[in-house]
């Protein structure tokens, strides 16, 4: 039977090799990245699979440097299979195998050609995509299509979850089509005209633009997590990586500032609204109208359809009095909240935390110290009475799981959960307020 080479350095490679060997279709040669390139996104070594199945392994940082071609010719390889490699195969290697070369690409070709298709898929807000198997040509991902398998992308999927879905499809496509191609039983069709090419991404491209709408910021954070470098902002000259976040969707969010600079956030959820979580996996609310529980500090809210779902801890809205005597409501006036409205713990407990602050008690409001900082002075509270700036920390989100902070975007807000300073361990964003490294009213991303 004709032989083939399998070139990849991605996580699905070893499981794919195991299945191919088990079904009687082992590769004649494996090609992988050397350990010196382990920093590349999604890198996985092939040494163990090579030893387990006694398949020769050639490690190279440059697939076109002549070593691979020489080995392909020496072993009389008939088919070249490549997936997840950061280089294009060029001549003379591209045409060295009689049956040609086939590759995988995790987008619905002809759309999404080029680098980093999985992050771009989420950044662009796509709800479906596909994995494409195709014959390689000298161009970028433009060869004839052998097969294409579609998969869904939900608003809760991080790039790691999308990567997992793609991995399963990759394995299924390889184990189905490699044997068929070796037997001459594969048919392919030209790609439709048109399409798109997405640009290469670098780690520094992960900088968050807080002037973007909240859904765009949320997509940015969930698109750039592991195995990719991540999304980040800056604070006091330091890089702060954001790993997980929640998007408040279908909600009308207004905010104001008291005369003491406390951000008061009101959240009104109508039927069909929801709080979506990326990374934390917390069920934050039912997709229905919410009624506030009678007792403060509870962790459940019942929908109008009778369903009950866990949410973050909430404080009840006052029934017949202003939010706090002498303080303004989210609209700037002393008023009684409307029916169906409730206050997350970000309102009224939103003051910067520290040893000199009173403890957080559900249902009680504490005033922050007067603030006199400038919006250009990163790390200092912003002045009272201003409209919130993009990147401003509006308040605290208490949780029995991963605490967070509410951050203003160009339109709407996101809840930032897990974070880490450059080179530091992951922690919840609330811990940075407790340590004094962040505070309500500071503005992220200005230095």
Q: Averaged in consecutive runs of 10 residues, what is the pLDDT profile of the chain (447 residues)?
A: 87 89 96 80 81 95 94 97 90 96 97 94 97 96 97 96 95 95 95 93 94 96 92 96 88 36 32 40 32 29 37 33 28 36 32 34 29 35 62 91 91 94 94 92 89
Q: Which residue has the tokens 């999304």?
A: 231
Query: Helix axis angle, 159-182 relative to 13-22, nearest 10°?
Result: 30
Contact 215, 249 (CB under 8 A): yes
Rounded Cα distance between 120 and 250, Å, is 24
Strand runs labelled E in 48-186: 57-59, 79-83, 101-105, 113-114, 128-135, 145-152
Residue 148: CB atoms within 10 Å: 17
* Residues near 215 by beta carbon (within 8 Å), at least 6 away in sequence: 125, 247, 249, 412
Nearest to 246 by CA among 403, 426, 123, 424: 403
* Confidence (pLDDT) at 38: 66
Rounded Cα distance between 406 and 441, Å, is 10
Rounded Cα distance between 342 and 318, Å, is 9
3-state SS class at 393: strand
Contact 413, 394 (CB under 8 A): yes
Q: According to CATH, where is 3.40.50.170 located in the chain? A: 4-198
Name the burial class of residue 154, with classes exposed (0-12), middle (13-18) and buried (19+) by CB atoms within 10 angstroms of its CB. Answer: exposed
Rounded Cα distance between 68 and 328, Å, is 71
Superfamily of domain 4-198 in CATH is Formyl transferase, N-terminal domain (3.40.50.170)
Rounded Cα distance between 62 and 86, Å, is 9
* Confidence (pLDDT) at 1: 65
> Is residue 6 within a helix (H) or strand (E), and if so which, with residue range?
strand 4-7
Rounded Cα distance between 435 and 421, Å, is 13
Contact 160, 118 (CB under 8 A): no
Nearest to 128 by CA among 98, 85, 157, 87: 157
* Confidence (pLDDT) at 70: 97
Nearest to 110 by CA among 125, 126, 132: 132
Contact 122, 151 (CB under 8 A): no
| 341-344/263-278 β-pairing | antiparallel
Contact 407, 394 (CB under 8 A): yes
Rounded Cα distance between 303 and 293, Å, is 11
* Confidence (pLDDT) at 249: 73
3-state SS class at 56: coil
pTM of the model: 0.73
Nearest to 30 by CA among 15, 8, 48: 8
Strand runs labelled E in 258-367: 263-278, 290-291, 300-303, 308-310, 314-315, 341-344
């Amino acid at each position: 039977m004709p032989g083939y080479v399998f070139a990849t350095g991605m996580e699905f490679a070893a499981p794919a090799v195991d299945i191919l060997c088990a079904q009687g279709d082992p590769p004649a040669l494996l090609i992988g990245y050397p350990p010196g390139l382990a920093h590349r996104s999604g890198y996985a070594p092939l040494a163990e699979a090579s030893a387990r199945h006694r398949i020769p392994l050639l490690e190279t940082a440059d697939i076109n440097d002549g070593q691979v071609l020489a080995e392909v010719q020496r072993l009389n390889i008939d088919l070249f299979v490549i997936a997840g490699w950061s280089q294009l195969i060029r001549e003379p290697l591209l045409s060295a195998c009689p049956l040609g070369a086939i590759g995988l690409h995790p987008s619905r070709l002809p759309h999404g050609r080029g680098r980093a298709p999985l992050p771009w898929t989420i950044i662009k807000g796509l709800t479906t995509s596909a994995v494409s198997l195709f014959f390689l040509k000298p161009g970028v991902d433009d060869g004839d299509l052998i097969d294409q398998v579609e998969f869904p992308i939900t608003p809760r999927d991080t790039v790691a979850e999308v990567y997992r879905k793609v991995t399963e499809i990759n394995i299924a496509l390889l184990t189905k089509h490699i044997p068929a191609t070796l037997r001459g039983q594969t048919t392919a069709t030209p790609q439709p005209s048109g399409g798109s090419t997405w640009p290469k991404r670098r780690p520094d491209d992960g900088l968050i633009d807080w002037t973007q709408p909240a859904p765009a910021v949320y997509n940015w954070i969930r698109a750039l997590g592991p195995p990719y470098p991540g999304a980040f902002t800056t604070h006091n000259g330091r890089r702060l990586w954001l790993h997980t976040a929640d998007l408040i969707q279908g909600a009308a969010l207004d905010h104001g500032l008291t005369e003491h600079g406390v951000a008061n956030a009101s959240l009104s959820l109508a039927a069909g609204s929801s709080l979506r979580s990326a990374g934390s996996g917390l069920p934050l609310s039912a997709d229905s109208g919410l009624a506030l529980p009678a007792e403060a500090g509870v962790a459940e809210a019942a929908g109008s359809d009778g369903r009950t779902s866990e949410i973050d801890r909430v404080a009840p809205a006052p029934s017949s009095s202003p939010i706090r005597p002498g303080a303004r409501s989210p609209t700037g006036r002393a008023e009684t909240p409307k029916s169906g409205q409730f206050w997350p713990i970000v309102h009224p407990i939103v003051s910067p935390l520290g040893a000199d602050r009173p403890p957080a008690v559900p249902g009680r409001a504490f005033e922050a110290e007067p603030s006199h900082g400038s919006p250009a002075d990163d790390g200092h509270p912003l002045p009272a009475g201003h409209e919130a700036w993009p990147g401003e920390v509006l308040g605290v989100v208490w949780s029995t799981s991963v605490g967070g902070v509410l951050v203003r975007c160009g339109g709407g807000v996101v809840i930032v959960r897990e974070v880490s300073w450059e080179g530091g361990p992951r922690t919840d964003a609330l811990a940075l307020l407790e340590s004094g490294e962040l505070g309500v009213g500071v503005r992220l991303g200005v230095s």
